[in-house]
Amino acid sequence: MHAIDYERATDPAHALRLAQDQHTRFIGGGTNLLDLMKGGVERPLRLVDITRIGLADIAELGNGGLRIGALARNSDTANHALVRSRYPLLAQALLAGASPQLRNMATIGGNLMQRPRCPYFVDTAFDMCNKRLPGSGCAAREGYNRMHAILGASEACIAVNPSDMSVALAALDAVVQVAGPRGNRSIPMADFHRLPGTQPQSETTVQPGELITAVDLPPPGFTRHTYYLKVRDRASYAFALVSVAAALELADGVVRQARIALGGVAHRPWRMPAAEALLVGHRLEDARSRAAAALLVRGAQAFKDNRFKIELAQRATVSALRRAGEVA
């Protein structure tokens, strides 16, 4: 039997005081953490319940942006009037993730922190996984790797980030607000998730003892022409083989701004500013979108079972851009 201390925090400062060591985990919705604990992947000695510390509000910022509290539920966020009207890309991505029951429980902070679903990581029957057992090797490289990365992988790990929401947040240039023992800091989405490199054990730049307090969205520039396309093996409750968050600002049919982020292809949402720049100043046409998509996946490297993802990612990008451009 593995004993776990349980503490209920009353406010963010209390939560931080209770989480002073590396064996403590914050628990909000618990939709990922509890699964990992039941499987023996996560073995915290202390759980700090943060469900009653506030941080669930969604409110306008003085600069015209929006602050989403870390404890806001995925369903509440996706259905919030300001999110739907100003950041429809985020609402679409949230509703593409998981199931209604999970979205009702899962929080925005937890969604950001969710861990890869590589089968060799989530099943302790496998004894080779650098993410779970550092130095043991990566079973996926020679094993079943249909769902795995084609971009940014390392010798140590080829897992992908499973979050739909994070792909939209990356496209929208969101900023994650974090509180910690050494004060508060802001982490742009571009720096929030990390590539596996030689240390695949962690997926984010959040440090032990730090608590996500909110996600800030900059003033809306993409209210009309956005599309989140998720390609998966079944219509719901499945992780993306490839997903695309596309956002455009159009004037008289000409692209003034473009954002493209890919999901399901790397250890973090994948953006390539040069690919977006290729669209700016031109009419949105498939040939140019195809060129942007090719740039987006430049350097892609496939494994035994996932070669199809390189072409799929490009076709999905062209399709998502076309649909974003068509939205009235």
Q: Interface residues for ligand SF4 in 192-231 (CB under 6 A)?
A: 200
Of 261, 274, 250, 277, the C-alpha closest to 228 is: 261
- For ligand SF4, the binding residue among 131, 225, 271, 309 (CB under 6 A) is 131
Instruction: Find the helix or strand (DSSP H, E) in which 310 lies.
Output: helix 308-326
* Nearest distance in Å: CB 129, ligand SF4: 3
303 makes contact with ligand SF4 (CB under 6 A): no
Query: Distance between CA atoms of 283 and 285, rounded to whole angstroms?
Result: 6
200: its two tokens: 């695949």
Q: Number of residues in contact with ligand SF4, rule: CB under 6 A?
A: 14
319 makes contact with ligand SF4 (CB under 6 A): no
140 makes contact with ligand SF4 (CB under 6 A): yes
130 makes contact with ligand SF4 (CB under 6 A): yes
211: its two tokens: 């608590």
Q: Interface residues for ligand SF4 in 100-129 (CB under 6 A)?
A: 116, 118, 120-121, 129
288-to-66, 244, 308 alpha-carbon distances in Å: 32, 17, 22
* Nearest distance in Å: CB 42, ligand SF4: 14
159 makes contact with ligand SF4 (CB under 6 A): yes
Closest CB to ligand SF4 among residues 153, 242 = 153
Q: Categorise residue 252: left if φ over 0, alpha if ψ from -120 to 50, beta otherwise.
A: left
150 makes contact with ligand SF4 (CB under 6 A): no
Task: Output 185-193 pairs: Cβ under 8 A, ≥24 positions apart.
Answer: 186/216, 189/269, 190/271, 192/112, 192/166, 192/268, 193/161, 193/166, 193/267, 193/268, 193/269
- For ligand SF4, the binding residue among 66, 108, 157, 316 (CB under 6 A) is 157
160 makes contact with ligand SF4 (CB under 6 A): no
138 makes contact with ligand SF4 (CB under 6 A): yes
